[in-house]
Amino acid sequence: MNWVLIFLGFSALVILHEAGHFFAAKATGMRVEKFFLFFGPKLVSVKRGETEYGIACIPAGGFVKISGMHPEDKLPPEEEHRGYYEQPVWKRIVVIGAGPAVNIVLAFAILFALGFSVRVANRTVEEVRPDTPAAAKLKPGDTILAVDGRSYRDLTGQDLVDRFREEIGSHECSGKQVNGCLAATPVVLTVRRDGEVRRIVVKPEYSAAAKRALVGFGYGSESAGYGASDAAGWAADQMWFVSTRTVAVFARLFEADKREEVSGVVGVSAVANETIEVGTKEALFLLAIVSLSLGLINLFPFLPLDGGHIFWSLVEKVRGRPVPYRVMERAGALGFVLVIMLFFLGLTNDIGRLTGGGFNAR
């Protein structure tokens, strides 16, 4: 059932993206010949007015075919004025930009809705993991008042928890840090339990996965109580974080650690499958991030992506005359090679994660 939901979710993102192009083209007077989900030979279609709507057989993306986007397109004389390249530059940019815009707006809408249910970490111990240093020392319901005597009273929420984690993580093993080694010095936790303040001394254990020392407990959380403005601000913060990370990864693809962060459809689907098991909110959050990423990546300035069409439209505006089609064709061929390379890079990384340590979606 999870895979059906994943398929429907991804398909919805594609349909909404293409719908952005479709409605913008219609609104600006262009002639739309086809609106298809997926690529390749068509499986089923129906024609309504001048547009054919259908589903193709290769489940990857979708497309809207606008008359006049190729030099060989022949339109009836009475329809020539509705061709894509017969339109002013601003109309072409609106039509091409509408697809990514829909994905970005959808991402914000989902995150905004989730913003009302945001929970923030607090000092409470919610979970004590078995077979860890904390197992014999802490209990669920304990309140962490200080770590190594530092209470950080000026901090709250995630900032406070992060500082506590840094303090615990500063305790290192003697010599090389290897998975499971105990820190050379203990961490002192000041906790409140049943109204009584206690001092607990425990040696944290180094975790290779977390890349720091851990005591072995999870913090509790509470509702952030966000209103509309707070939810909007939270959504904007999440989008800014994802956007900067996405641009940073693609801008530094020649660095090995950045290349490893690229995921393909297989990887995203695997993460989605794990995320659905965690909860509905987590699944919706991932859907928003995928929608935002789809919008951002499509804005990269090389063909055949939407950003490539926008880029060459702007070039035409600056130079004051159309760009020769052969130039755009060569740029499109180069861009297609780059897209294929990114596809195989993502696929290779996905295979490595599937056969290795997994995706750690939880």
- The catalytic residue positions are 18
Please name the residues in contact with 139: beta carbons below 8 A apart, sequence gap of 6 or more. Answer: 125, 128, 193
Rounded CA separation 172/213 (Å): 7
Are the C-beta atoms of 262 and 346 separated by less than 8 Å?
yes
* Residue 308 three-state SS: helix
Phi, psi of 9 (to 5 degrees): -65, -50
Please name the residues in contact with 155: beta carbons below 8 A apart, sequence gap of 6 or more. Answer: 163
| Angle at 259 (CA atoms; ends 255, 263), nearest 5 degrees | 165
H, E, C per residue of 103-116: HHHHHHHHHHHHHC
Are the C-beta atoms of 279 and 285 separated by less than 8 Å?
no
Are the C-beta atoms of 144 and 160 separated by less than 8 Å?
no
Eight-state DSSP code of residue 176: S
* Residue 35 three-state SS: strand
Are the C-beta atoms of 10 and 62 separated by less than 8 Å?
no
Report, in angstroms and rounded to the nearest whole number, the Rg of the chain calculated over CA atoms: 26
Are the C-beta atoms of 13 and 20 separated by less than 8 Å?
no
Are the C-beta atoms of 71 and 83 separated by less than 8 Å?
no
Read off the tokens for 261. Answer: 């962060």
Rounded CA separation 120/73 (Å): 56
> Maximum Cα–Cα distance for the chain, whole Å?
87
Amino acid at 223: S
Are the C-beta atoms of 56 and 38 separated by less than 8 Å?
yes
